[in-house]
């Protein structure tokens, strides 16, 4: 069986930046095992699969190399780019039916950016295990975090940790093999490291790590920004924020807090399109 595949760099003006996602349109669902095998073979943070419902609506699922996840922002944006530019260019808005409810992506005028609406994430208090902050700092090669919270932006259905550091520390982080064990001890699947921006143009910066789920560092994480946007919007007293994910590839996002929903805007760049044989 041959399937079409696109690889799209989300939140990027050009290839080799932003966050790459593989997008595989289907006429009907493959087995979970087959989709997982394709995602593992692609070896990207996420591979998205969707099936058309008609009328600009699609069922959408996402897989890391290790597991299916309930929400992925950048692969949703990449999927919408494929629909709006390759499959149904007459559409202005795409509606995806997912485990996280309906997600919409629409064109943003003539800017070339796409606007994606996601459910707002939650941040809760976190009772850290003894020595957790010290172990976390050592696994990243930086000082201990100023704050620790529990975040709904985990991966694979598990919660994540949100840690707050100075911006210089977030940018200086270097992942070591110990992080996976530190997170496992806290029952968390991922870490969002974030900081208030030191000045224009960015209101806040972040990085995202989920080494136990096949994503050592995610280049640009839409679901994390669905949590970070309301968090920083409350602290900074702003509804519209500009964010930067300070991974080696980097990503620039415009984030709008609309209460129960968060709108993330960014461009996409096509890297490749072809066929896979399964």
pLDDT in tens, 48-61: 999 999 999 999 99
Is there a single domain that holds both residue 76 and residue 138?
no
pLDDT tens per residue, range 176-227: 889 999 999 999 989 999 999 987 899 999 999 999 888 899 999 998 999 9
Residues 74, 146 share a domain? no
Contacts 24+ apart (CB under 8 A), 123-126: 123/149, 123/150, 123/151, 123/152, 123/162, 123/227, 123/230, 123/231, 124/149, 124/150, 124/151, 125/149, 125/150, 126/150, 126/161
Q: What residue numbers bound the domain in which 218 lies?
A: 123-259
**Do 115 and 127 share a domain, yes or no?**
no
Provide the number of structural domains found in the chain. Answer: 2
Token pair for 277: 């044989």
Instruction: Report the C-alpha gap between 220 and 255 in whole angstroms.
Output: 13
255 lies in the same domain as 127 = yes
Instruction: Report how far residue 139's alpha carbon sits from residue 190's, in angstroms, rounded to the nearest whole number.
Output: 13
Which whole number is the average pLDDT over 75-90? Answer: 97
- Yes or no: say if 24 and 48 are a contact pair by the CB < 8 Å rule: yes
Q: Which residues are catalytic?
A: 46
Q: Is the domain of 246 the same as that of 127?
A: yes
Q: Where are the alpha helices (DSSP H) in the chain?
A: 32-42, 73-82, 132-140, 167-172, 179-185, 222-236
Q: How confident is the model at residue 110 (pLDDT cuts 50, 70, 90)?
A: confident
Q: Which two tokens stand for residue 12?
A: 């990027």
From residue 180, give the alpha-carbon distance in Å to each of 14, 103, 126, 213.
32, 30, 18, 9
Give the three-state DSSP class for 103: strand
- % of the chain beyond a pLDDT of 90: 87
CA gap 79, 46 in Å, rounded: 11
Instruction: Report the alpha-carbon distance of residue 29 to residue 50 in Å, rounded.
Output: 8
Judge if 129 and 251 occupy the same domain.
yes
pTM for the model:
0.89
Average pLDDT, the chain: 94
Specify whether 113 is located in the same domain as 24: yes
Question: What is the 8-class DSSP label of residue 220?
Answer: S
> Bridge partners of 50?
25, 60
Residue 158 pLDDT greater than 90, yes or no:
no
What CATH number does residue 234 fall under? 3.10.310.10
Q: Are residues 158 and 189 in the same domain?
A: yes
Backbone dihedral region for residue 81 (phi beyond 0: left; psi -120 to 50: alpha; all else: beta): alpha
């Amino acid at each position: 069986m041959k399937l079409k595949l696109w690889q799209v760099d989300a939140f990027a003006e050009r290839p080799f930046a932003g966050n790459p996602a593989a997008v595989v349109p289907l006429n009907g669902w493959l087995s979970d095992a087959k989709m997982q095998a394709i995602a593992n073979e692609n070896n990207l943070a996420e591979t998205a699969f969707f099936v058309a419902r008609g009328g600009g609506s699609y069922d959408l699922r996402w897989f890391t190399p290790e597991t299916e996840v309930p929400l992925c922002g950048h692969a949703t944006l990449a999927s919408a780019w494929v629909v709006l530019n390759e499959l149904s260019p007459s559409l202005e808005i795409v509606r995806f039916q997912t485990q996280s409810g309906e997600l919409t992506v629409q064109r943003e005028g003539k800017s070339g950016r796409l606007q994606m609406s996601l459910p707002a994430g939650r941040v809760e208090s976190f009772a850290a295990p003894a020595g957790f902050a010290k172990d976390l700092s050592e696994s990243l090669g930086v000082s201990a975090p100023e704050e620790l919270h529990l975040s709904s932006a985990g991966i694979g259905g598990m919660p994540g940790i949100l840690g707050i550091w100075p911006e210089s520390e977030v940018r200086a982080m270097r992942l070591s093999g110990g992080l996976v064990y530190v997170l496992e001890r806290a029952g968390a699947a991922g870490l969002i490291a974030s900081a208030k921006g030191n000045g224009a143009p960015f209101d806040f910066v972040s990085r995202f790590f989920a080494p136990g789920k096949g994503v050592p560092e995610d280049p640009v994480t839409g679901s994390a920004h669905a949590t970070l946007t309301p968090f920083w919007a409350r602290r900074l007293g702003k509804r519209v924020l500009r964010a930067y994910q300070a991974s080696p590839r980097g990503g620039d996002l415009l984030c709008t807090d609309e209460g129960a929903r968060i709108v993330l805007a960014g461009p996409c760049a096509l890297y490749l399109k072809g066929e896979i044989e399964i």
